[in-house]
Amino acid sequence: MSPVGGPPISPIAALMAVVQTIRVILRCVRNKDIDNDRHVSLLSGPEARRKTLPSLGALGSKNSTGSPIGGPESSAPRAEGRGTWGGNDFSYRLQFPFVGTIGDVAKHAGVSTTTVSRHLAGQKIRSAAAVQASIEALDFRASHTARSLKSGVTRTIGLVVPDVSNPFFATVAKGVESVSRQLELNVFLSNTDENVERERNVLEGLIGRVDGVILVPAREGSNNTGELRRAGVPIVLLDRILTGADDLDSVLVDSRGGAEQAAKHLMSFGHERIGLISGPLDTTPGRERHDGFVEAMQSAGVDLEPALVQIGDFRLKSGYQATLRLLGLPTAVTAIFSANNLMTIGVLRALRHMAVRVPDEVSVVGFDDLELAELLSPPLSVISRPAVEQGVLAMRLLRNRMEDEGPDQAQHIVLDTFITARGSCANLEHPRRLHRKKDKGFAEASPPRTDSNE
């Protein structure tokens, strides 16, 4: 701050200087840098926010022309004042962070804390109007933390997914979030990166912070829910289950059926040498899509030699590399089924880089739709499923557990998948060529189609 009597500065600059000074002081107080003034007590946390206020009044009247802050009975404390600086008049008004307590409201309204608490809980009290007025005057907000401590309830749930940046999980998150907002629950979002270790840490870190968890486990065989369950936290499994945890609610899709649909769809075009790019077999969708596909092939009497089954990790790069391996086989594949969206992108990239034409040379079906699938050339055929709904249902199940409603036995919801046949599959004997379909329709969601031609 420039000394009084120095060069003229604008009112705004002066104001900024005052604000800045007070900020620095606040910061010093928080950092316990000051300890010689009776007005400034050594406090941390919420105390620092509240109790340093009177001293700020004192500082204000010492360092500037601000009027001191009102007594303890005043409403949300503020410092305001006017002054002259470098020949210019200016005024300022500062409102300080203030977290009032139920006790402040009680004092202000002249009742007991009990009465305020009752009012807050929606009970009828005689002095409702006065209490409400005090609450508003003080801009009072009840402390969630204190309530949690007392009630043992956090009104928070955890959503633990392998990867939010996967469009499927992002969509699920949106579904979960929308329901939890209605229920006035907050959502902790955590990524496990498909990693069992990280998952364990994440889940243990949630203990005591959440009333329930929606979990997409990294691996079927690695049950990290023990600590959480011991702590009495309800859990709903989403999209993937945990071996031996049949007592947990779950919301799955019929991955096996979806994979069968994919296999049958490809076989209906005459394909027999179909490459499968599977997810990890120790995840539910990985295993089920693998099994569903393999069984559909077998029951159709088609031989599936081991080299045709490539195991990926649900990430893009693994789909890319698996495709290269499939393309390198002595006898080329004529079709590929990829078990999730990210790997499918990898498949398409690999095919593009190797200059393999789809569907002329290789037909492709992917599990999980993509926003751009329809716009690829050819449009990508996929196994679709209701992703938002999975999130919504999981949240509903969790709510029931949290409220101890609904049946006592575990609920296992399995949603249907459906095939969205676009243009990435073609007849084996008569590979088609592409053309652009003259289609002036307005429909955003195309109905299943299998056309693709030039």
Instruction: Tell me if 173 contacts a copy of itself by CB under 8 A.
Output: yes
Using the rule CB under 8 A, which residue among 231, 300, 332, 414 binds a copy of itself?
Answer: 231
Using the rule CB under 8 A, which residue among 47, 80, 89, 197 binds a copy of itself?
Answer: 47
> For the chain, what's the residue count?
454
Q: What amino acid occupies position 345?
A: I
Given DNA, a copy of itself, none, residue 126, with its beta carbon under 5 to 8 Å by kind, binds DNA
Instruction: Tell me if 75 contacts DNA by CB under 7 A.
Output: no
Which of these ranges, 58-66, 146-154, 297-305, 366-374, lies near DNA under the rule CB under 7 A?
A: 146-154
- 98 to 117: interface string for DNA, x by CB under 7 A: -x-xxx-------xxxxx-x
- Nearer to DNA by Cβ, of 53 and 304: the residue is 53
- Of 219, 215, 212, which Cα lies nearest the Cα of 238? 215
Q: Is 256 helix (H, G, I), strand (E, B) or coil?
A: helix
- 393 to 412: interface string for DNA, x by CB under 7 A: --------------------
Instruction: Tell me if 433 contacts a copy of itself by CB under 8 A.
Output: no
- Nearer to DNA by Cβ, of 23 and 144: the residue is 144
| Min dist. Cβ of residue 304 to a copy of itself (A) | 27
Residue in the block written with tokens 């499927």: 168
Structure tokens at 20: 């800045």
Using the rule CB under 8 A, which residue among 32, 174, 325, 433 binds a copy of itself?
Answer: 174
| Min dist. Cβ of residue 447 to a copy of itself (A) | 14
Beta bridge partners of 187: 157
- Nearer to a copy of itself by Cβ, of 5 and 232: the residue is 232
On whether the CB atoms of residues 25 and 39 are closer than 8 A, the answer is no
User: CB neighbours of 432 closer than 8 A, spacing ≥ 6?
Assistant: 359, 360, 426, 452, 453, 454
Beta bridge partners of 276: 309, 337
Instruction: Tell me if 407 contacts a copy of itself by CB under 8 A.
Output: no
Given DNA, a copy of itself, none, residue 117, with its beta carbon under 5 to 8 Å by kind, binds DNA
What percent of the chain is helix, strand and coil (3-state, nearest 5)? Answer: 40, 15, 45
Instruction: Tell me if 325 contacts a copy of itself by CB under 8 A.
Output: no
Q: Is 40 helix (H, G, I), strand (E, B) or coil?
A: coil
Instruction: Tell me if 438 contacts a copy of itself by CB under 8 A.
Output: yes
Q: Per CB under 8 A, which of residues 349..378 are in contact with a copy of itself? A: 349, 352-355, 357, 370-377
Distance CA 293, CA 272 (A): 12
Instruction: Tell me if 207 contacts a copy of itself by CB under 8 A.
Output: yes
Distance CA 10, CA 4 (A): 13
Distance CA 63, CA 372 (A): 62
Segment holding 16, helix H or strand E: helix 11-30
Using the rule CB under 8 A, which residue among 181, 243, 414, 448 binds a copy of itself?
Answer: 181
Largest CA distance in the chain: 97
User: CB neighbours of 159 closer than 8 A, spacing ≥ 6?
Assistant: 173, 176, 187, 188, 189, 190, 213, 214
Instruction: Tell me if 74 contacts DNA by CB under 7 A.
Output: no
On whether the CB atoms of residues 279 and 384 are closer than 8 A, the answer is no
- Nearer to a copy of itself by Cβ, of 175 and 279: the residue is 175
User: CB neighbours of 240 closer than 8 A, spacing ≥ 6?
Assistant: 216, 217, 220, 252, 283, 284, 285
Given DNA, a copy of itself, none, residue 42, with its beta carbon under 5 to 8 Å by kind, binds DNA
Distance CA 309, CA 393 (A): 33
Given a copy of itself, DNA, none, residue 307, with its beta carbon under 5 to 8 Å by kind, binds none
Given DNA, a copy of itself, none, residue 370, with its beta carbon under 5 to 8 Å by kind, binds a copy of itself
Structure tokens at 304: 């599936």
Instruction: Tell me if 264 contacts a copy of itself by CB under 8 A.
Output: no
Using the rule CB under 7 A, which residue among 42, 231, 332, 414 binds DNA?
Answer: 42
- Of 412, 395, 373, 415, which Cα lies nearest the Cα of 172? 395
- Nearer to DNA by Cβ, of 50 and 271: the residue is 50
| Min dist. Cβ of residue 53 to DNA (A) | 12
Q: Side-chain half-sphere of 109: how many Cα atoms within 13 Å? A: 29
Instruction: Tell me if 221 contacts a copy of itself by CB under 8 A.
Output: no
Given DNA, a copy of itself, none, residue 111, with its beta carbon under 5 to 8 Å by kind, binds DNA
Q: Is 153 helix (H, G, I), strand (E, B) or coil?
A: coil
Measured in degrees and rounded to the nearest 5, phi and psi for residue 453 equal -165, 170
Given DNA, a copy of itself, none, residue 316, with its beta carbon under 5 to 8 Å by kind, binds a copy of itself
Instruction: Tell me if 150 contacts a copy of itself by CB under 8 A.
Output: yes
Which of these ranges, 124-132, 268-276, 342-350, 394-402, lies near DNA under the rule CB under 7 A?
A: 124-132
Can you give the binding site for DNA, defined by CB under 7 A?
42, 44, 46-47, 50, 99, 101-103, 111-115, 117-118, 120-121, 124-127, 140-143, 145-147, 149-151
